[in-house]
Chain A
Amino acid sequence: SVMCVGVSSQPITENQRLFSIAVGRVQYLHLVAKKLFSEFENSQLEDQHPLNKIFLQDFCHSDYFLSPIDKHETQRSSVLKLLSISYRLIESWEFSSRFLVAGFAERAQVTSKLSELKTGLMKLIEANQDGAGGFSESSVIQLTPYGNYYQSVGVDESFRRNYELFACFKKDMHKVETYLTVAKCRLSPEANCTL
């Protein structure tokens, strides 16, 4: 993952530095999620199950979190809000990542990476709090096991659940990456926030 370190002549602030680190970490997690999903998807082709991946992906536990779902809404959100949402998502997946039946060492790495990212986001929240009263409590945090949101219909519950896990994990990582990148580019002085 490439971190968008400030190229301008101005010295990078601590906030920007933390943002750069967070963006880099979430980009890495997003790539890991993509890799896990692709490997799982390829491993299942042999089963000759034409998968309705999208159907399986209809619901993620994170759908309960109110979060910007388009560009306009994302840009309208404050940095702190974006950070808060990102924090919640990461925290939820820190819990749910244990269900990732990856069978790889990456599973353990994912959990630890999520924990580290959560810590970094907390620091960013603290750094960007401008008197706001902590997190927004509008969203309901559901830390129930991930599998409760899906009712096994198909033959292979584990497969379906795993598929949902990987799909949702990939989607949420992309979401957090987008939020953090938008927040970072909003704070960075250079015009084009090219990584």
Chain B
Amino acid sequence: MAVSSPSSHLLILLLISCLDWPSTPASAFLLDRDHMTTSAPNEPHFTDCVSREQETFRCWWSPGTFQNLSSPGALRVFYLKKDSPTSEWKECPHYNYSNRECFFDVNHTSVWIAYCMQLRSQNATFFNEDDCFTVENIVRPDPPVSLNWTLLNLSPSGLSYDVMVNWEPPPSADVAAGWMRIEYKIEYRERNTTNWKSLAIQPHTQQAIYGLHIGKDYEVHIRCRMQAFNKFGEFSDSIFIHVNDILSGESMFPLTVVLVFGIVGILILILLIVISQQHRFVMILLPPIPAPKIKGIDPELLKKGKLDELNMILSGGGMGGLSTYAPDFYQDEPWVEFIEVDAEDADAAEKEDNQGSDTQRLLGLPQHASHHMNTGCSNAIGFPDDDSGRASCYDPDVFDHDTLMMMATLLPGQPEDGEASLAVEEGFSTSDRNLVQTQTTGPQTWVNTDFYAQVSNVMPSGGVVLSPGQQLRIQESASATEEETQKKGKESEDNEGTAKKKQKELQFQLLVVDPEGSGYTAESTTRQISTPPCSPMSGEGYQTIPPQPVETKVEENQSSYIVPDSPQFQFSAPGAPVSDYTVVQEVDTQHSLLLNPPPRQSPPPCLPQHPLKALPAMPVGYITPDLLGNLSP
């Protein structure tokens, strides 16, 4: 309409306002319901027009206060489809009077085309033309279906969890063909609460809900709308989510705490025990290394090699120094054990061929050789079986004296000392026999396990030849060997028996020292002083110490061993394979050291030397050079 004047403007405005801008709520349904301003309509009007899938739509009307028009058919629905400028009003294609609904099927529904609705009575037209819309703007999709949830994860504390909710699009909405694009909105709340929590709207068919609490019931529902449009559909039926305390996370947490604390407590307890018993643990884990300990002798002397003082002490200032009254240097080590030899034997058996004496037992007195004409093993038969180490001769048929001799040779200083020592034990136990003595008719094969001898050669016959060259070395390190001897003699008193296994090649005579003042003081008492063989010795058996020097083989001997140091002593011939050590079998009444006579290889025995004179009747300890001087031929 052309506007010519302001007045006409106003008129037209009024007209338009009456016609085109009705303020009736009939058009209210076109607005979003949330913004609808309620005003009670009096005239018949449309209450709502809704499309569910953008293919059909329905409109509902109300007679308003005009009750006379409430009967079916009193009001008729007309619509105008503005698909062309010449379109006309048409009546509702399908009535449903039961709910006052006009249904537009797919043939009568067009999208992007404006529709206007009108109610007409018989004599009036209720121009609710403002009830005009396009179908896409009145679409309210059906609610999604198949709503369910799955547990996503559980918090470490076990108090909260996350779920994943998923669903299907409403079946009426043709999402698959792309005809509708739908976005969804989830709301959830705790049961019996009023406020819903909503999640962000999104177009996917699943969404996660985070931070739900264990033990609480949750209600979840969902609705949807077309993308870029405002009208939501109805909410779906609610589902309920509940996760209770049965979940392992909840029950595991306190158990884990208890375990951790328990383990920590136990560790602390163990630590306290270890600390309190530290000394004991140290003793168990790091046992002290045995050191040579002689009762009555300051261990410092042993360590520092103060031989002079040591010898002095051992000699007891001349007389049985190492007595029981010697100061106890090992008070703090109560576990130290000293070899104790029966004092009576030591005293009594000075030069007596007393088999009860240790010396005799140890040395295996040659005059008893005839009595010991048997292999050690065969002696075993009559011996009480006290499981002494007869390993060397458990089978008398197998071992011969040579073998035994060889074995016995190896015994000194060997771990197999046990054999010899045990054999010695047996020797003692028998008391009459020298078990370990492997004597043959011929040479005596004595092996003194207390002393060291280096095997320089093994005879084809089976005999072992000790190296004579070791004589020097041994002499030089006499202190060590002396200690060794002491130790050996002390460690196993029964080792004395092994002394009976003597090598005939021994050059020296070693004095077995009993620090206790008892035991087999070699040169004392019980030894037999056999005539020392002359120089060429077979090296087997013991040799008596010649009181006069025969051959000063080893002037450089500084040890306390008797023989080497003194030129007065006779030594075995250097050329001959002689034993390094010689055990003083006995000291005769004239204080001569009797050594085992050499074996067959030995040259005609030399004249026995004069016995040692200055040798005390009970020489306790080693014969020092001083003492050697007293040994005059």
Contacts and interface: CB of A to CB of B under 8 A. Distances in A.
A155 B20 contact: no
A177 B136 CA distance: 13
A25 to B, nearest CB: 14
A53 B27 CA distance: 10
B125 to A, nearest CB: 17
A185 B178 contact: yes
Nearest to A70: B110
Given A2-B203, A50-B23, A71-B55, A57 B114 contact: yes
B203 A195 contact: yes
A193 B12 contact: no
A82 B350 CA distance: 136
Interface string B382-406: 0000000000000000000000000
A72 B110 contact: no
Contact of B228 (A31, A58, A71): A31
Contact of A34 (B9, B83, B228): B228
Contacts of B176: 185, 191-194
B178 A182 contact: yes
Contact of A55 (B83, B112, B132, B228): B132
Contacts of B178: 178, 181-186, 193
B177 A75 contact: yes
A106 to B, nearest CB: 15
Contacts of B151: none
Contact of A70 (B106, B134, B229): B106
A26 B109 CA distance: 24
A27 interface: yes
Contact of B179 (A27, A30, A63, A74): A74
Contact of A193 (B9, B27, B175): B175
Given A69-B83, A70-B110, A30 B228 contact: yes
B21 interface: yes
Contacts of B9: 155
B interface: dominant SS: loop
A178 B227 CA distance: 11
Contacts of A178: 111, 178-179
A151 to B, nearest CB: 8
A194 B136 contact: no
Interface in B130-146: 130, 132-134, 136
Interface residues of B, number: 44
A69 B21 contact: no
Contacts of A138: none
A155 B177 CA distance: 44
A155 B228 contact: no
Given A2-B203, A31-B228, A54-B116, A71 B130 contact: no
B177 A58 contact: no
A29 B54 CA distance: 21
Contact of B204 (A31, A72, A193, A194): A194
Interface in A1-45: 2, 27, 30-31, 34
Given A154-B16, A171-B112, A174-B228, A54 B203 contact: no
Given A69-B83, A70-B55, A171 B134 contact: yes
Interface in B596-624: none
The 8 closest A-B pairs by CB, nearest first: A54-B132, A185-B178, A181-B178, A69-B110, A182-B178, A192-B176, A34-B228, A52-B20
18 contacts: A27-B181, A34-B228, A52-B20, A52-B21, A54-B27, A54-B30, A54-B116, A54-B133, A71-B111, A71-B177, A153-B12, A154-B16, A171-B112, A178-B111, A181-B179, A186-B178, A192-B175, A193-B177
